Structure 1
Amino acid sequence: MSALATPGSPSRVHRLSLAVFVLIVGPLLMTLSAKLQIPFWPVPMTLHTLAVMAFAVALGPRLASAVFLAYLSAGAAGLPVFSGTPERGLGLAYMMGPTGGYLLGYLLASGVTGVLARGRGMLGHLGAMLAGLSVVYAMGLGWLAFYVPADSILALGLTPFLAGDLVKVAVVAVGAQLMSPLACRLSRKWL
């Protein structure tokens, strides 16, 4: 029996095809999450943060980062994948605009959250996602500072979104906990 096909382990071809599938479907789901708007107070929320954190917890740092990098590549190529596109611009022009720091933060948070969430329970997942969310806000607010007066940064870039993001993080933490043991074993085995 070859090293590629040991009993109970997936073949390299199977792992590669699954990764390719995730890299195609993942950015599509990320796009859908950016486009959906759910009524919330004080502003409607998208499911972008939920998707980023769910991918990081479920797929781990490398694959979650690859999914978000593929999503960013589609956006950079001019596809209307981001929230507010095409109305607020497309491609690199959109990415260099006021929300560009949040996009970079999501990419970094995919890795940070994925690393910190490995092998953890619900509280560990919650902590990992809060750390990832801190990265998102640090990058986003830092970038936003180039576009708005300093005394408006928190009011425009944090306060309206924080409650919704905390709800999304809680939903992912509970959802990850409720996932069946079989699904957890499959994701560790195949991804």
Structure 2
Amino acid sequence: MDSVRSNQNQKILKNFFIIILGSLILTISAKIKIPFYPVPMTMQTFVVLFLGIAFGYKIGLSIITVYLFEGILGLPVFSNSPEKGVGLVYFTGPTMGYLIGFLSAVFLTGYFNFGKNIIQNFFKILISVSTIYILGLIWLGSLIGWDKPIFELGAKPFLLAELFKILILTFLASKLVEFRKSI
């Protein structure tokens, strides 16, 4: 009985560590800007998708939830915080839909079965990241008005960078699933 409890405690501690570390990595990925055309690229969406594939939807959702709560509580974890604000005010700004989309994207990448077929992996990752942009564009349009060029403002500048990140993850997906099974 004690060994079962000990194993459960070890699993809880391991998951807690993964969640805190995942939130920290996501924060770092939001802060680093990589020169890219036509706009600088962060690796934030890459990390969201990576976390889902590598740790599954339960741990992935936990990581994103902790990250979002950290930001809502005022910690400067989001991409342009503290420069453009912190806390609930920043969260409910133009990027809220994208941030909420992190939840759907990490869920889908954690839920999908990734195998050796890179074409299937590509489309699974594409579907997952698309939810970030769909929710982001819906929120952005609701916030600034549908008469504005929402797609040109909220998606088009980022598509080349997203394709680059999707391709990297497509080739890593089967290895990440093997990693998930080993931990």
Q: Which stretches of structure 1, 4 residues or more, deviate above 4 A after TM superposition? A: none
The SS at the match of 1:155 is: helix
Q: Deviations over 1:96-155 (max 9, x none)?
A: 000000000111111122112x24333333222111111111100000002334341011
Structure 2 residues without counterparts, runs of 5 or longer: none
1:120 corresponding residue in structure 2: 115
Q: Which amino acid aligns with 2:79?
A: S
The total of aligned residue pairs comes to 181
The 1:13–1:112 alpha-carbon spacing in structure 2 relative to 1, beyond 3 Å, is same
Query: Contact conserved, 2:114 with 2:174, CA < 8 A, in 1?
Result: no
1:156 corresponding residue in structure 2: 153
Q: Percent identity?
A: 35
After TM superposition, the score normalised by the length of structure 1 is: 0.86
**2:90 is matched with which residue: 94, 97, 118?**
94
1:72 corresponding residue in structure 2: 68
CA distance in 2, matches of 1:131, 1:73: 25
CA distance in 2, matches of 1:152, 1:69: 30
- The structure where helix makes up a greater share of residues is 2
1:166 corresponding residue in structure 2: 163
1:32 corresponding residue in structure 2: 28
After TM superposition, the score normalised by the length of structure 2 is: 0.90
Structure 1 residues without counterparts, runs of 5 or longer: none
Alignment of 1:47-62 (within 5 A): 47-62=43-58
CA distance in 1, matches of 2:23, 2:35: 23
The 1:105–1:145 alpha-carbon spacing in structure 2 relative to 1, beyond 3 Å, is same
Q: Which amino acid aligns with 1:103?
A: L
The SS at the match of 2:129 is: helix
